[in-house]
Structure 1
Amino acid sequence: MHPSRAHLDRRQWLTLAVGALGWPTQALSQTTAKIDGVDVATTTFVRGKKLVLNGAGVRRRGYYKSNIVALYLPERLTTLEAIMKLDGPRRIQMLLLRDFSQSTVSRIFLADFKQAATDSEFKALINEVAEIGAIYNNVKRVEQGDKVNIDWQPGAGIIASLNDRQLNDKPINSELAYQIYLRMFMGPNVPEELRNRLLGLGNG
């Protein structure tokens, strides 16, 4: 054995082997993307279906950064219209950058949801809004570093989780409600930079 290679560990040997095959060695470590210094997974699974990171960006509330928002889809798409028509699971993930109380989270959700929905949609979804409110009532507090997933699972509905702990026992079976969730992060009232990042369009 060459003396300079006598102490190579398994990972180094694997890197050398992959390089010798002509494969990009960076692929070994590209399982996350850095968004504002936070690691965001480039793939995830919803009900056994692999989803890819469509885009991610920072959500601001006034002068402060509240969370990283990431969108996962079965395939990458660049328009909200195409995402809404997608036949498959979807995931909105929020990685918290600061602490929030239960009352603050509930207030933010209700304000954002009502802004993203039309008056008729909001009235039609009043029961679903109450169900979502009950989910937030189960969360006493969220803290910096927490992970919130809002999933759409075809055949089931909306399922929310906090740090991979499911929050609602019964899925909320309303695709319209989930579409409004999507508008909350990519609709016309959302800052252009965040909207474009979630759509994979860069800085905007």
Structure 2
Amino acid sequence: MILRRAALTVLLSLALPFATQAQTVDAGGAKFETSAEVAGQKLVLNGAGVRYRAVFKVYAAGLYIKAKADTPDAIIKMDGAKRVQIKMLRDVDGKDLGKAFTEAMQKNMTPEDRSKTINGIFKFGQIFADIKRAPSGSNIQVDWIPGTGSQVFFDGKAAGEPIKEPEFYAALLRIWVGEHPADDNLKDAWLGKGKSR
């Protein structure tokens, strides 16, 4: 009986690293949990990849939604809570990061979209200007919380007020899954069609 219990303990200790490993996804050295909870809703990691600028890794990003989806339209139109999680892989000035995000949103907008999101884009840019610096290892989340809006979190702390317009969060998602994505390989990773380099 004692030997059987000892053998079981050894087997469990050997299996545990594999069980733990299976619950995260690696993207450029950054780990993403395969599930998350936003506003009491359980979400799944749809995909994670790396944003490159030239040959340099800038950040790893993961998308959490309520059910797996493999098209931009399905992701954007899906109801319920959502999360974009960004893990910085190099030091970036907050203002520069905010500018890059807002410019990427504008590249994927129609004039009609722009009129509905201009207020949110301004607020979003200001949040990053206020952050001042996004060092390597820092964690940024932008959650869509139904009934509240888009809330930015920097290293777990709320940054700025929620941006209420749902059109803003759709514009945010198009940074990575729009017709002119920030990184083609990252778009593919989010859609389950490959991994970022």
TM-score by structure 2 length? 0.87
| Candidates 159, 176, 179, aligned match of 1:185 | 176
In the comparison of the two structures, how many residue pairs are matched? 194
Q: Does residue 138 in structure 1 map to residue 130 in structure 2?
A: yes
Name 2:53's counterpart in structure 1: 61
Name 1:114's counterpart in structure 2: 106
| Candidates 165, 171, 187, aligned match of 1:174 | 165
Name 2:3's counterpart in structure 1: 2
- State how 1:91-130 maps to structure 2 within 5 Å: 91-130=83-122
Aligned partner of 2:179: which letter?
P
Aligned partner of 1:2: which letter?
L
Q: Take 2:13 and 2:109, find their aligned partners in 1: how far apart are those partners?
A: 50
Q: Take 1:52 and 1:60, find their aligned partners in 2: how far apart are those partners?
A: 24
State the 1:105 CA deviation: 1.4
Q: Take 2:83 and 2:4, find their aligned partners in 1: how far apart are those partners?
A: 50
SS of the residue aligned with 1:67?
A: strand
Higher relative contact order (CA 8 A, sep 6+): 2
- The share of aligned pairs that are identical, in percent, is 30
Aligned partner of 2:131: which letter?
V
Name 1:159's counterpart in structure 2: 151
Name 1:43's counterpart in structure 2: 35
Instruction: Say if 1:143 and 1:75 are closer, same or farther in 2 by CA, change over 3 A.
Output: same
State the 1:138 CA deviation: 2.2
Once the two structures are superposed, residues 74-129 of structure 1 have per-residue CA deviations (whole angstroms, 9 ceiling, x without a partner) of 11111111112211001111110000112211221221121121233223322222
Once the two structures are superposed, residues 2-46 of structure 1 have per-residue CA deviations (whole angstroms, 9 ceiling, x without a partner) of 39938x8x6x46458xx8xxxx98335422112222211111111
Instruction: Say if 1:3 and 1:30 are closer, same or farther in 2 by CA, change over 3 A.
Output: closer
| Candidates 54, 70, 94, aligned match of 1:78 | 70
Q: Take 2:105 and 2:93, find their aligned partners in 1: how far apart are those partners?
A: 18
Q: Take 1:13 and 1:65, find their aligned partners in 2: how far apart are those partners?
A: 38
SS of the residue aligned with 1:125?
A: helix
Q: Take 2:81 and 2:103, find their aligned partners in 1: how far apart are those partners?
A: 25
Aligned partner of 2:166: which letter?
E
Q: Take 1:58 and 1:193, find their aligned partners in 2: how far apart are those partners?
A: 8
Unaligned runs of 5+ residues in structure 2 are: none
Q: Take 2:17 and 2:135, find their aligned partners in 1: how far apart are those partners?
A: 36
Q: Is the 8 A contact 2:101 2:175 kept in 1?
A: no
Alpha-carbon RMSD across the aligned residues, in angstroms, is 2.5
Q: Take 2:5 and 2:122, find their aligned partners in 1: how far apart are those partners?
A: 66
